[in-house]
Amino acid sequence: SRNASGVLVVAGGIVENPAAYARLLDSCSVIWLRATPQEHWDRVLAQGDERPMRGQANARARLEALLTARQPEYARAHLQLETSGQDPEAAARGVLALLQESGAAE
């Protein structure tokens, strides 16, 4: 339903599919959960899942280049929230507060 509520979590690569990203932007309140490249790297390592960079000597540099290249598309999100240094619970509270402030949670 177009008026359904919920949370849809998508991978950062969604911006490389213009049709899918445009559909999200047209039908949802899109929030860019920002973090520093180091924070992204640390989160990937903490999850124990290094795909798609496993075994690449320059993986950290490639991740940073990927984030930089995607930044203009990420910036099209309706809202942005800096999550560096936050645990998941704090980030979730930040998302809720941001949605309430913007009126998107009503």
pLDDT tens sequence across 25-44: 999 999 999 999 999 888 88
pLDDT at 1 (0 to 100): 44
Alpha-carbon distance of 79 to 98, in angstroms, equals 8
Q: Is the pLDDT of residue 80 over 90?
A: yes
pLDDT at 90 (0 to 100): 96
Q: Nearest 5 degrees, angle CA 29-CA 62-CA 46?
A: 70
Residue among 80, 76, 84 nearest 36 (CA): 84
Residue 59 structure tokens: 């993986």
Across the range 83-88, mean pLDDT stands at 93
pLDDT at 74 (0 to 100): 97
Q: Is the pLDDT of residue 16 over 70?
A: yes
